[in-house]
Amino acid sequence: MALVLNEEQVMLRDAARNFLQERAPVSHLREIRDSGNLKGFSSEIWTEMADMGWTAILVPEKHGGLEYGYSGLGIVLEECGRTLTPSPLLSTALTAVSALTLTGSPEQCATILPDVVSGELLLALACDESAQHQPERVATEAEVLEHSFVLSGRKTAVVDGHVANTYIVSAWTGNGISLFLVPADAKGVRVERYPVLDISVAAHVTFDQVELAADSLLGKLHGGQVILDQVLDAARIGAAAEMLGIAQEVFARTLEYLKERKQFGVPIGSFQSLQHRAAKLHGEIEMCKSLVLKALQTLDDKPGGDAEISSLTKAKLGVTAHHAATEAIQMHGGIGMTDEFEIGFFLKRCQILETLYGDHHFHLDRFAKIRGY
Amino acid sequence: MTELDSFRLEARDWLEANCPEAMRHPYRSEADPCWGGRNCKFQSEDQRLWLQRMSQKGWTVPTWPTEFGGGGLNREQNKILKDELARIHARPPLESFGISMLGPALLKFGSEELKKQHLPAIARGEIRWAQGYSEPNAGSDLASLQARADDHGDHFILNGSKVWTSYGDLGDWMFCLVRTNFDASKHQGISFVLFDMATPGVSTRPIKLISGKSPFTETIFKDVRVEKNQVIGEVNQGWTVAKYLLTHEREMIAGSGLLRAGTIPVSKTAIHTLGTENGILHNTMLRGDIAQFEMDIRCLELTIERARDEVKAGVSLGAASSMFKYYGTELNKRRNELLMAIGGSESLVWEGKDSHDGQLPKSWLRSKGNSIEGGTSEIQLNIVAKHILGLPG
Ligand SMILES: Cc1cc2nc3c(=O)[nH]c(=O)nc-3n(C[C@H](O)[C@H](O)[C@H](O)COP(=O)(O)OP(=O)(O)OC[C@H]3O[C@@H](n4cnc5c(N)ncnc54)[C@H](O)[C@@H]3O)c2cc1C
């Protein structure tokens, strides 16, 4: 497939951009932070996103979705990166929907997906248990009984864990890892909400002898590891798409500043040391654009995606977006360090996404393993 | 079956029947590539046959028009042909500055007469071209060049010198930048001329490189006669042609040694040389560097693919070629550094059969020139900053 957006995708991008810049620009994130909003996002904006069909992009048509694929959702996430618009798009519309479409039973899909589309149901993937991402290390256990399961353990860094109605939980079932759909209001579920930097929210979620019905098993018993990897790979590419938006936006703002800020009687952008750094960043961002496009297309072409391109994309975007945001602060000088100025928000969001589901060290290691060394 | 599918089958069959077995391996040493030219000494009969068959088919220059010795292929067909060549690890039948640099400029700016005269000979590998751009005092600031061509009616008389002429001693003809107007601003007085290097008054002096070989010369002109019909584009408008040619040169350099079909991945060499334990390379610090390098290579490949998808066939990538040149050459330097580290003390061996006469250290040293030739890395970054990013000054 050609590495370019088609006409429809360009229209989707423009529509998303218009909406986000009008309704939820970076100042919107600041308002949410400063207003003491405990959710960390605006329900009103979320409803509007659902009305525009963004929650339906990945959902199959038979469940009320648009079946428009990862390439489509990636475009929207990239735009959300530009405006830093907070929402459960990544956790629910991408990550959870991926899990359901990859391995959900027809009944599970039929009950859950329509409510995702309407924006009423939020889901969160609860897989990490330590500060370093190690999805294959699972201490959480689910006891397998004849017609039910009993789940115990503690998950950390659960994105949107503080608002989710349902968790997708990985647990050891004695002979492998299995995935479970766990209602947030089940007896024994405890949620500790915590602020993530000062712009986002997540939760630790504890499961204390939570009784689960047989139909809460998602996918095959003991067969969760492969699916979890595929779900994570999709989520990583989603996070990368958002970081691509961040990288482009901070770089565009930096370039503008280089042209307008004067010192020594000339625009600072005429200094070669800054020019060369800008030129290299431009190149890095161009590389990232190709990667994200390819990674999204791969997810659409091949159910379950491709681990190598996913790790490559997450690693590269993590480094590049981070570098772009750091350089942005440096090239803005003192003003870049102020809370009043917006650049700092980009660095914060970027750091959150870089940490999520494996930072670039994790993925460098994984990439090498996949390539056999 | 689509037309492209049947083209693929046709190409596959033809290559199967016509590519000699010995030509189905990547180059093993610097002596392996075939550069053609009047004084070409073929390494083997297979090498000669491969060039002959490919050029008769038009596939030394697959996308050039058939009337000029090309294959007349469109972009998709060319991509398929490349895939099929890569599939059997076929080496290029011909390396040529005529193909990678002069040809595109001639096709775009040359008169019909010049195209007919030069393109088919390039396609067949009969004439080897040298590039006369740089001078002792005009390197990065190429447009300040001083080699002069004085108007003598139907011809020019050329005096001055060029330097860093790659394979200057082996070139048959030269494409050369000369000053034809000393009063105009520096970009306005340059002409792009072609002449036979056997013309009286042309001499070369070899320059030895750190990589040992001497494929370079200083090239000196003393009252050299250049016919006026051998000017590409208008007199004094040569800078436009020169810049266009540079974008092609940069694309060529960006990919050479790095993205060529048949290039053995660095990790494969590392696994083979250093060994693994539980699937993990023994030297873990080096492992990280290799992984980072292989990621960056993939990024570059995908970005080149995207750029090709973005421009229509034939449209130059323009300033983007500077970005690719910068990345490609810096990556190729990294590649060579990694190979040296993997090789350890064996990578220092300079002579002998085991080391293919020091192929590794020699190509490592040679790679340092990648970020200088065709415009230095710093110049590429300047171009990106100015022409893509619109930064001032
Ligand atoms: C292997 C090899 C093959 C070559 N083959 C050919 C050939 O076939 N034909 C031909 O004509 N030429 C050839 N060249 C010459 C090549 O194009 C020049 O060497 C190159 O353009 C640099 O010019 P210079 O050597 O004069 O270096 P200089 O221009 O003197 O540069 C010296 C240093 O200063 C830096 N510098 C210069 N100007 C700036 C600036 N504005 N901003 C920031 N930094 C700057 C450069 O980046 C470099 O690091 C070849 C060179 C090499 C190494």
Tell whether ligand 1 has an atom less than 6 A from the beta carbon of residue B168: no
| Residue B110 is assigned to a structural domain of this protein | no
Decide: B369 in ligand 1 pocket, CB within 6 A. Answer: yes
Sign of the torsion formed by the C-alpha atoms of B45, B47, B52 and B53? positive
Residue of A35, A37, A15 lying closest to A87 (CA atoms): A37
Measured distance CA(A138)–CA(A155) in Å, rounded? 9
Q: How far is the CA of A365 from the centre of ligand 1 (A)?
A: 38
What's the rounded Cα separation, in Å, for the pair A35 and A112?
32
Residue A204: alpha-carbon gap to chain centroid: 18
Collapsing DSSP to helix, strand or coil, B132 comes out as strand
pLDDT band for B252, please (50, 70, 90 cuts): confident
pLDDT tens digits for A361-371?
999 999 999 99
Question: Do A364 and B288 lie within an 8 Å CB cutoff?
Answer: yes
> Is the separation of the CB atoms in B81 and B43 below 8 Å?
no
Same domain, A54 and A156: no
Query: A168 near A96, Cβ under 8 Å?
Result: yes
- Domain contains B377: yes
pLDDT at residue B305, as a whole number: 87
CATH number where B171 lies: 2.40.110.10
Domains: count for chain B: 3
Write the DSSP assignment of A242-283 as a string of letters: HHHHHHHHHHHHHHHHHHH-EETTEEGGGSHHHHHHHHHHHH
Kindly state if the Cβ of B381 falls inside 6 Å of ligand 1.
Answer: no
How wide is the angle at C-alpha B227 spanned by C-alphas B223 and B228, nearest 5°?
A: 120
Q: Does residue B226 sit within a domain?
A: yes
Under-50 pLDDT residues of chain A: none
DSSP per residue over B146-192, as a string? Answer: --EEEE-SSEEEEEEEEEEEETTTT-SEEEEEEES-SSS-TTTSEEE
Last residue of a domain, one of A121, A149, A179: A121
Domain edge (last residue) among A223, A258, A286: A223
| Domain annotation covers residue B121 | no
B313 contact A CB<8A: no
In a domain, A301, yes or no: yes
Q: Which pLDDT score, from 0 to 100, does residue B74 have?
A: 93
Statement: residue B211 has pLDDT above 80: yes
Distance B184 CA to ligand 1 centre (A): 24
pLDDT digits (tens, 9 = 90+) for B275-287: 999 999 999 899 9
Domain that holds residue B213: 129-237
> How does residue B264 score in pLDDT terms, banded at 50, 70 and 90?
confident
Per-residue pLDDT, B313? 37
CA B275 to chain centre: 35
Within this chain, do residues B271 and B230 fall inside the same structural domain, yes or no?
A: no
Q: Are residues A109 and A241 in the same domain?
A: no
Q: What is the dihedral of CA B258, A305, A166, A93, to 10 degrees?
A: 80
Residue B301 CA from chain centroid, whole number: 18
Residue at a domain's end among B208, B237, B266: B237
Q: Give the residue, B262 or A227, on which the prediction is more confident.
A: A227
Q: Residue B44's domain is classified under what CATH number?
A: 1.10.540
CA B355 from chain center: how many Å? 26
Both B263 and B383 in a single domain? yes
The predicted-structure confidence for B110-151, as pLDDT tens digits, reads as follows 999 999 999 999 999 999 999 999 999 999 999 999 999 999
Q: How far apart are CA A81 and CA A25, in angstroms?
A: 10
Residue B101 counted as domain residue: no
Q: Which domain holds residue A113?
A: 7-121
Indicate which CATH number applies to the domain containing A48: 1.10.540.10
Q: Is residue A1 part of a domain?
A: no
pLDDT at B314: 44
Q: Looking at the 3D structure of chain A, how many domains does it have? A: 3
Q: Is residue B300 part of a domain?
A: yes
Assigned domain for B104 exists? no
Chain A: closest CA distance from residue B373 (Å): 19
What is the structure's pLDDT at B27?
A: 83
B237, B271, B293 - which closes a domain? B237
Residue A2 lies in a domain: no
The string of pLDDT tens digits covering residues B148-183 is 999 999 999 999 999 999 999 999 999 999 999 999
Same domain, B381 and B261: yes
Contacts of B281 in chain A (CB under 8 A): 368, 373
Same domain, A230 and A366: yes
> Are residues B154 and B58 both part of a single domain?
no
In a domain, B111, yes or no: no
Same domain, B36 and B135: no
Q: Which two tokens stand for residue A160?
A: 């949107």
pLDDT tier, B262 (very low <50, low <70, confident <90, very high otherwise): low
CATH number of the CATH domain containing A171: 2.40.110.10
Q: Whose CA is nearest to atom 52 of ligand 1?
A: B373
pLDDT at B257: 64
Q: What is the pTM of this model?
A: 0.92
pLDDT of residue B263: 78
Residue whose structure tokens are 């970020």: B371
The domain boundary residue, chosen from B180, B204, B237 = B237
Q: What is the pLDDT of residues B24-43, one digit of tens each?
A: 988 877 788 999 999 999 99
